[in-house]
A and B are shown apart, each in its own frame.
Chain A
Amino acid sequence: MKRERPAVLVVTERFVGLAKTVAKARGLPDLPMVVLPAGMEQMTRAELEEVARKTLDEAGKVFTRPPSPSGSARTP
């Protein structure tokens, strides 16, 4: 369902193919994605905090980028 609100998909690297399939099926082939590394269950707190920082940074760039012609920002 399109709500005309900016959105970014956060997905682990092993699920990127699935995420792209679902986004395309829902009519959002350009849905921007921020990709997380797999295996976060085994990361230390410091490693997780680093992932969180990078993710927020990337997501922030997506939200502040001009939208693509199809109405959503491009995948980084």
Chain B
Amino acid sequence: MTAPRSRHELQSGALEIPDDIEAACDWLYDRGWTDGLPIIPPTPERVQTMLTGTTLSPATVVAVLDPRGAKASVEKIAINAVMAGCKPEYMPVLVAAVRAIANPTYNLHAVVTTTNSVAPMTVINGPIRNQIRVNSGRNALGPGVRANAAIGRAVKMIMMNVGGGVPQEIDKAILGLPAKYTCCLGEDEEGSPWDPLHVERGLGPEDSAVTVYGISSDINVCILAKPEQALKVQLDRVANALGLIGSNNWLAGQGDIVLIIPRGWARILNDAGYRKDDIKQHLWEHSSIPEEDYPPAVRVPLKKPEEQGFVRNGRVYTTNSPSKISVIVAGAPEPYHMMVMNTYAENDCVTEKITN
């Protein structure tokens, strides 16, 4: 993915940073330009090297990012990529991710500034996953793989350093979320019996893509029985996780809830006749509750459910439609766990093709 290219004149102002790595980290930390963890100082040489990962000119403005309304140029993306520990070949993913979070549908201003605990979750699909070694297997959401760790971190750092989502001052989350440090995984397309996410969302299987969500929590759903004997039990447990009263899923009937299924479970479900759409429909129906169980006292007064269209025939649903539940295959082969990523509810996921 790395294209040889000539060196470019950088537009960003030059700053004198201490040579010592610890002093440099402290210097940048003191100015509020890190996520709290040590970073790689973005020297001009390192930024130039990062820019070799894209065919775009450093001055190209990829998007304007809220709330600051700042221009996210390729150069600014590269600076944050250096700081987050990225390799140059991750640049096309970051460029696409920045396009995605700037899409009005993503509602970046709200994602960054809300008192809710919301993190961007980046899902990578297509051939680039293997080219840059994105983990879609065991511990796909855990530590240990550079692409996942650094890309997720860079996306959040771009939101902070370019978009202006500075914690405390602008990012008003009451508690925050560990996923705000990093949250990125690939879909296990090789282990999935179904169409991958980006194909479901209109791209070709040969395309590479990022899909960015706004997630508010993760719930691991564990089963200790033999999966073949407990299919309905497991799906009902997943439905319970989706339907947890108090979660943001109930705020507005909006947003995208994500269910992550390991390949072992995907195979069992597929053998039992379930496709992604069947799973979405099942969960949508079984996570709904009677309207009398969702009294006004537990509703958030920002939106009325009847205005949002997620109250139908006396039942309340977590989303307007089953299509607002995403199903992704990822994780280790063993069919022991699934994971539900609850939505922020005030934004929708966005998919962008990775091009340059």
Contact = CB atoms under 8 A, between A and B. Distances in A.
A and B part of one assembly: yes
Contacts of A24: 69
A21 B164 contact: yes
Contact of B169 (A18, A22, A25, A26): A18
B68 A25 contact: yes
B67 interface: yes
B66 to A, nearest CB: 7
Give the bracket for the number of chain B residues in contact with chain A.
10 to 19
Instruction: Tell me the dominant secondary structure on chain B's binding face.
Output: loop
Interface in A5-61: 14-15, 17-18, 21-22, 24-26
A34 to B, nearest CB: 19
Contact of B66 (A14, A15, A17, A25): A25
A22 B163 CA distance: 11
A25 to B, nearest CB: 3
B111 to A, nearest CB: 13
Contacts of B70: 25
B225 interface: no
B182 interface: no
- Most chain B beta carbons < 10 A, residue from A14, A22, A24, A26: A22
A25 B69 contact: yes
A15 B112 CA distance: 13
Contacts of A21: 67-68, 164, 170
Interface in B249-284: none
B113 interface: yes
A17 B67 contact: no
Interface string B160-197: 00001000011010000000000000000000000000
B113 A18 contact: yes
- Most chain A beta carbons < 10 A, residue from B67, B70, B109, B172: B67
A65 B263 CA distance: 66
Interface string B215-235: 000000000000000000000
A26 B69 contact: yes
A17 B170 contact: yes
Contacts of B69: 22, 24-26
Interface in B48-89: 66-70
Contacts of B172: 14-15, 18
B186 to A, nearest CB: 34
Contacts of B68: 21, 25
- Most chain B beta carbons < 10 A, residue from A14, A15, A21, A22: A21
A21 B164 CA distance: 8
A22 B65 CA distance: 11
Nearest to B170: A18
Contacts of A17: 169-170
Nearest to B66: A25
Contacts of B169: 17-18
A74 B179 CA distance: 40
Contacts of A26: 69
A52 to B, nearest CB: 19
Contacts of B113: 18
Interface of A: 14-15, 17-18, 21-22, 24-26
Given A22-B109, A25-B164, 19 more contacts: A14-B172, A15-B172, A17-B169, A18-B67, A18-B113, A18-B169, A18-B172, A21-B67, A21-B68, A21-B164, A21-B170, A22-B66, A22-B69, A24-B69, A25-B66, A25-B68, A25-B69, A25-B70, A26-B69
14 contacts: A14-B172, A15-B172, A17-B169, A17-B170, A18-B67, A18-B169, A18-B170, A18-B172, A21-B68, A22-B69, A25-B68, A25-B70, A25-B164, A26-B69
